[in-house]
Structure 1
Amino acid sequence: MNVTLTQLRYLVAVARHGSVTGAAKMLNVSQPSISVAIDAVEKNFGQKLFVRQRGSGVSPTSFGRAVVAKARQVLTETEELVGLGSSKSAVSGELVLGCFEDLAPFFAPALIRAFSERYPAVKIVVRDETFETLGRRLGDAAIDLGLTYDL
């Protein structure tokens, strides 16, 4: 079964406006585009989604109401999914930075400042570590990121 997000948007718009004409105006697309999309979805499901009434628009069938409700949910979740990557504030939580004790005073402040400007909702915890403990803490997931140098 192939149903696109565009088809789902069209279905929801038709249900909201009660007509293909109203949905077409709202979405700024042609009426035939919406009619073709509805026909394709109905063909995929093997059932009618809307009852077309000449001169008075359309009304969803009971199956159509269920499909439109689920389509709204899918579209909302899709918007949330897309929003994850587009908002700086979407990145939040705690980041534990383990720094080799000799490097921490020279590099950690600038790294923390730059990261905090880009992701202000992230709390950064800095832990000074010896060279021996840094690798072990990374392996144990006690720290998320390690700052060291290559021997």
Structure 2
Amino acid sequence: MNLNIREIEYILTIMEEGSITKASQKLFIAQPSLSQVLKRVENELGVTLFTRVKNRLKLTPEGEVFIDAGQRIMKVIGELDQNFSGLSTAQSGRLVVGVPYLLGTLIATEIIPVYRERFPQIELQLVESSSTELEQLLMDGAVDISVMPLPFKFNDFPYHLFLKSRMVLLTSRDNEIAEGAYRKTPGDRFPYMDITQLNNAPFIIGHPGQRIRTINETIFKKARITPNIVMTSRNQETIKRMVANGIGYTFIPEHYLEIFGSFDYLDCYYLEPEVDYQWKVVTAYYDETHLPTAMQNFLDIMDEYYRTHFADPVFTERG
């Protein structure tokens, strides 16, 4: 069977109007042309679709079967067109966003309310996991977007920069190194610390494979120190509490201070540029050649947040 959607539409219109003349007027095509369409469809199917009764066309039993199927086909086509239209205008669809455990609260409070207000018909699902697992989920297509810190472990995904921050040394208030702190500029939020003097000092860091651990190890290497790793944990809140109890030190992004909440019982120190690490969190996706509207709109909102908090208003870093 070789029929097209327009031919089905023409036959349905003939049925509705009861004559080829009226149908041709409604469809704005010549009557002989419409007659040829009807003849071609009947020849293709090997049946007669209409008989003439008192100057009006009447469906044959075969014609009734055709009309029933044709109406169902046009309904499906209409629904398909509506769905694609909704997706292209972000009025419908589903978006799965992967976020690291620690940044879930930030995304939930700063990004999702804006997205839901602008695009309430989009079903938005959050998947919280570790950065390594989020990268794997992105490669597997289980999430559409992953918010995760650089560097990538498995693949160089296209991305938009979401957060960036310098690192800070976190210590308890009663620590042995406080007397070595110094200020470089009166307006600095925190004093500086020469961490090259912390060889064999106690540190609490993340588990192997975690991005935050990789960053800590990079700083150790740049400072040419060998830390005494007294404890590891996947949970940054746990690490913060251990530091507060004087068990050891750790490095965290300065932006985490806002995410964690109060740091009144901890001391923070900036690092010299030669040993510092610029922490970057990006919004990564798999294929930059095809960005559904719902995904593009989410990226736009993430870009707005970055420009507002971290970047020149006319520039957004993309990778």
TM band (smaller chain): 0.7 to 0.9
Counterpart position of 2:263? none
CA distance in 2, matches of 1:135, 1:50: 61
Do residues 42 (structure 1) and 42 (structure 2) align? Answer: yes
Question: Contact 2:92–2:122 at 8 Å: present in 1 too?
Answer: no
Change (3 A) 1:146 1:56: same
In structure 2, give the amino acid aligned to 1:89: Q
- Structure 2 distance, partners of 1:14, 1:2, is 20
Partner deviation per Cα, 1:110-146 (whole Å, 9 max, x = no partner) = 47634752x3223434455443453466689886642
Q: Are 2:117 and 1:109 equivalent residues in the alignment?
A: no
* Contact kept? 1:101, 1:129, Cα under 8 Å: yes
Going from structure 1 to structure 2, the CA distance change for 1:50 and 1:97 (only over 3 Å counts) comes to: same
TM-score normalized by the length of structure 1:
0.75
Distance 1:6 1:96, change over 3 A: closer
| Matched-pair contact (CA < 8 Å) for 2:93–2:123 | no
Change (3 A) 1:122 1:17: same
Q: How many residues of Structure 1 are paired with residues of Structure 2 in the alignment?
A: 147
1:120 paired residue number: 120
Gaps (5+ residues) in structure 1?
A: none
What pairs up with 1:122-141 in 2 under 5 angstroms? 122-126=122-126, 129-135=129-135
On the 8 A contact 1:116/1:122 being kept in 2, the answer is no
Q: Which residue of 1 aligns with 2:71?
A: 72
User: 1:58 maps to what in 2?
Assistant: 57
CA RMSD of aligned residues (A): 3.2
SS class of match (1:89): coil
**Pair 1:26-2:23 in alignment:** no
Q: Identity percentage over the alignment? A: 22
Q: Are residues 127 and 47 of structure 1, via their aligned partners in 2, closer, same or farther at CA, if it must alter by over 3 Å?
A: closer
Q: Which has the higher helix share?
A: 1
Q: TM-score, normalised by structure 2?
A: 0.39
